Amino acid sequence: MNWAEEEYGVEQLRKEKRDIIRAYRSLMKPGKTRLKTKDKELIRKAFDVALEAHRGMRRKSGEPYIFHPLEVAKIAKEDIGVGPTGIVCALLHDVVEDTDITLLDIEQLFGKKVAKVIDGLTKISELFHQNSNLQAENFKKLLLTLSQDVRVILIKLADRLHNMRTLGSMPGEKARKIASETLYLYAPVAHRLGIYNIKSEMEDLSLKYLEPEVYGEIRDKLQKSKAVRTRFLNRFSLPLKRELKKAKLSFDISGRTKSIFSIYEKMRRQNIPFEEVYDILAVRIVLNANRENEKADCWKAYSTVTDFYKPNPERLRDWITSPKANGYESLHITVMSPTGKWVEVQIRSKRMDEIAENGYAAHWKYKSEGEDHAVDQWIERIRETLENSDTHSEDFIDEFRLSLYEKEIMIFSPKGDMISLPSQSTPVDFAYEIHSQLGDQTIGAKVNGKLVPLSYHLQTGDQIEIIKSSKGKPSEDWLKFVKTAKAKSKIKSHLKTEKKKFAGLGRTILRRKMRELGIKFEQDNYYRIAYLFNLPTLDDLFYQVKNEGLDLNQLNKLKIEKGLIKNNFRKTKNAIITEVGGRAQIASKSENIEGVEYNLANCCNPIPGDKVFGFMNRNNLFDIHRSNCPKALELRSHKHYRVIEAKWTSEHSLAFLVGVKLSGIDQLGMVNELTNIISQDMDINMREVHFESVDGVFQGEIRVYVTNRQHLNDLMRVLNKVKGVEKVERIDDTK
């Protein structure tokens, strides 16, 4: 009996073998991806290689590692719809990184195409394993790989989704870091590729680990109201089915419940409770129509629905005539139901529905000869931007992430060519989209024949003409208003060239200080110094040193071993225990360091009792943020190395300024009653009171000093009982 049998038992190993075979057979079942005999043979070969390569390896959950690539392959096949090559790559996606198998072995066994995808996947795995300066650079490599073979990112999305499904086996802080990372980058990428089923599940699972209480509350309320939604759907769709049949349309009607994360976002954005989210249920009509008839059939169904239910004309969305940038096609209308509630109805063909769910991968199934998909254009734009950019700033990740959710506008060149640009793009963005040289030489612009500022926000339908001059050059002010990553990249590249002229002396000055401290002139040391001062590039570092904008004495605090900087705070897993009054303790297994200074972040204004975390700022001080701070997602994802856990330990008689917003029906003496309750009944000091009333409805904001979260909750509960007050809510940002 070998060591594995001794540890897990013969029967347990037999059961695992049966489960592995069952998982493999589940993968090979007929589904969205049709497999030929030779495809099945290649997939079996990949499975055998992966099984042998991962033999003896186990996941954090304790199960054999081979279950992970099998599940990733299944997600890629069924939920995304990749072809046989994609399934093979999914099965092999971890072998080069985690086992003795090399990329050359993969190429010899499966060919160059598979090896190229595996190489891309291996590089992506390094993305979040590096310090931040390498993260941005690796992220650019990820996008370049994506632009060469989109299967890399499709499989990576499947890999990340399965990791999210099994996140329960990870420690709390590690799970929150992965969830933040997923919500910050992977879900937006899935959105941009139109893979809504993957995107929604990623968002829901991320919320489950970042805000477990909120997630559980919404999940439970959805479950309790499920029967009500089912009855409503049956009543609403019954007459539609009858009318659609009369119109001789072949169709399926179903209800689509809003995802937990979407409901959470709407509640947070509009400051409303679950009960006030009216569009939790959408009705979807999917037509079985031929490609040549599908548009006409969709409008025919639209006519049938609006004949029966009164539509809201302002809520018509025609994404069939003008599909979204990620290829999404559908008609959306909002109609009044018999119960007096607005209901969204989505009308699309079966082809459109498959693309809506599976996104870019499904597009290939229907692509015509010579047809160019909107995502193809977006990927081409990424490739061009990256290949002509040498920036490795963290700003690049932020800019790219924002572009994933951008709405697009259609504008026209002087010759009538239609150009797609992100919403709020400017003439400068348009110029760089046409040609880099045109962007550099831009000095003015005409829109619809009239001169406009270069910061003018273009609108769909605008026709634009760029005025240029050979003496023109990019201005740093342009960075304040340009929208596209391409324009920003080109402008920064030009400014960087200018800045390099002045950075040489700064490098010499810095080297003098490094030599004094015994720090080697190595690239990684330079990057660590740049991040010590929170500067995005080495040129910025040298430029700032030259201009005496940095205190180089800060380098004296660094720990140096054999000429290398050991930046302890970047890898710390310690917990900061905050103590009211501007001081804190760092609790570590090996040491206790007292007297660490911290600030309460203005962006979310935490008070004792709030769930909080610490973030080390550019001055090496800790900012304390609420766990649901608007900046939490960014800080916990690609700046996670500066984040440590935090909690309150003591609550002295200190007062914390918070804002409270009230609204309701105005009544005589309302303001006087509210202020008396605050100052006299509850003995709470007020710094500021502002109320205004319009047509009998009042809105008010007060700034008060409370000792902790319970104190604030007590105040809000009392104010909510005042006659006429409809809503009381906390204001995050207290200036």
- Residues annotated as part of the active site: 97-98
Q: Which long-range contacts (CB under 8 A, 24 or more apart) does 464-470 make?
A: 464/411, 464/412, 464/413, 464/414, 464/427, 464/430, 465/414, 466/427, 466/430, 466/431, 466/434, 466/438, 466/442, 467/442, 467/443, 468/431, 468/438, 468/441, 468/442, 468/443, 469/441, 469/443, 470/441
- With a CB cutoff of 8 Å and minimum separation 6, the contacts of 319 are 328, 329, 330, 331, 332
Write the CA distances from 531 to 84, 92, 107, 393, 557, integer angstroms.
44, 36, 39, 11, 14
Integer Cα distance of 404 and 183 in angstroms: 12
Which of 348, 315, 343 lies closest to 235 in space, CA to CA? 343
Residue 136: count of CB within 10 angstroms of its CB: 22
Tell me the backbone φ, ψ of residue 231, rounded to 5 degrees. Answer: -65, -40
Integer Cα distance of 324 and 445 in angstroms: 28
Residue 402: count of CB within 10 angstroms of its CB: 13
Which of 371, 254, 378, 260 lies closest to 324 in space, CA to CA? 378
Q: Given the DSSP bridges, would you call strands 622-626 and 592-600 parallel, antiparallel or unpaired?
A: parallel
Which helix (DSSP H) or strand (DSSP E) does residue 246 occupy? Answer: helix 226-246
Collapsing DSSP states into helix, strand and coil, what is residue 408?
Answer: strand
User: Longest C-alpha distance within the chain, in Å?
Assistant: 88
Integer Cα distance of 138 and 131 in angstroms: 10
Strands (E), 35-174: none
Cα-Cα end-to-end distance for the chain: 69
Amino acid at 298: C
- With a CB cutoff of 8 Å and minimum separation 6, the contacts of 497 are none
Q: Are 2 and 51 in contact (CB under 8 A)?
A: no
Phi-psi bin for 194: left (phi > 0), alpha (psi -120 to 50), beta? left
Which of 400, 272, 282 lies closest to 342 in space, CA to CA? 282
Integer Cα distance of 385 and 486 in angstroms: 5
Structure tokens that stand for 544 in this block = 């700032």
Find the helix packing angle between 132-148 and 112-124, rounded to 10°. Answer: 150
Integer Cα distance of 570 and 734 in angstroms: 30
Which of 354, 319, 335, 347 lies closest to 244 in space, CA to CA? 347
Integer Cα distance of 119 and 123 in angstroms: 6
